[in-house]
Amino acid sequence: MIGGMRRTLDPLTVLRGLTYVVIAAIIFVSILLVNSFMNQTKNKTPRTEAERAIIVAETAVKADPNDPKARANLAAAYLAAGRYSDAVKQAEFATRLNPDEGTGYLVLGIAQRELGRYDEAIKNIQRALKDENKTADWYVKAWIELATTYEKKNDIKKAKEALDGAIGYFPEASDLYFQRARLTEKLGDYYGAFLDYQAVLEFDPDNQQAREAINRIRPMADKQKKERESKKK
């Protein structure tokens, strides 16, 4: 009330005010929707190479669910991401679709090993090695995985034998000789380990670990060598 008179609002002014309020509300809601969309997009965007590999592999499986290669690739992608149970499911699917293809069995065995199912893992990796249509690199990897599984099971002798298989496909690999020397030493065969450490240096003369190992076990290796020579006489 001003001077006893009631002030009346201009309808046009009221309409303008309401219009501004509505526009402000629309802008606010639009901002919220844009932020929500951006957050959803950000969350769905793969952040790592492993996640991207899974998306590609899952897309391939959706395109052809009965493709054993696509199933094996998805199993491998899950394996790389540490999703071992999912890897087992997809690898088992791959082996059912194509029982003669080794990759599904290999991935299955590795995943089972990571789950602590060593006997099943060994069986499936051995089954993978029956595939006669792979490259030398593939067989080296399979033998190494078998050796790793045996060692985790604490069967050092079988682990060493598996590395023999890997070296058969790649006799110039210094790392394989080093790993076999390490296992041979665990078995108490110091002379055999000494020879393998020497083989490491033949292919990798700068390998300091092999040099240190040779110096460490040399007395025991020399003793075993003399004992074996005396038995032959």
C-alpha span between 38 and 229 (Å, rounded): 76
Does the pLDDT of residue 21 top 50, yes or no?
A: no
> Is 53 in the same domain as 140?
yes
Does the pLDDT of residue 11 top 50, yes or no?
A: no
Q: Which one has a higher pLDDT value, 34 or 180?
A: 180
The amino acid at 204: D
C-alpha span between 33 and 181 (Å, rounded): 63
Find the domain containing 78 and state its range: 49-145
- Cβ-based neighbour number of residue 75 at 10 Å: 30
pLDDT at 41: 41
> Is 54 in the same domain as 138?
yes
The token pair at 60 is 């391939």
Q: How confident is the model at residue 47 (pLDDT cuts 50, 70, 90)?
A: confident
The Cβ-side half-sphere exposure at 134, using a 13 Å CA radius, reads: 20
- Cβ-based neighbour number of residue 192 at 10 Å: 18
Percent above pLDDT 70 for the chain = 80
Note the pLDDT tens digit of each residue in 94-141: 999 999 999 999 999 999 999 999 999 999 999 999 999 999 999 999
Give a yes or no: residue 23 inside a domain.
no
Give a yes or no: residue 22 inside a domain.
no
* Residue recorded with tokens 């099943």: 120
Q: What angle do CA 224, 228, 233 make, to 5 degrees?
A: 150
Give a yes or no: residue 3 inside a domain.
no
The token pair at 89 is 């499911």
Note the pLDDT tens digit of each residue in 69-86: 999 999 999 999 999 999
Give a yes or no: residue 43 inside a domain.
no
Does the pLDDT of residue 164 top 50, yes or no?
A: yes
> Is 182 in the same domain as 131?
no
> Is 58 in the same domain as 140?
yes
Does the pLDDT of residue 9 top 80, yes or no?
A: no
pLDDT at 46: 57
C-alpha span between 176 and 182 (Å, rounded): 10
* Number of domain units in the chain: 2
Q: What is the CATH classification number for the domain harbouring 108?
A: 1.25.40.10
> Is 102 in the same domain as 183?
no
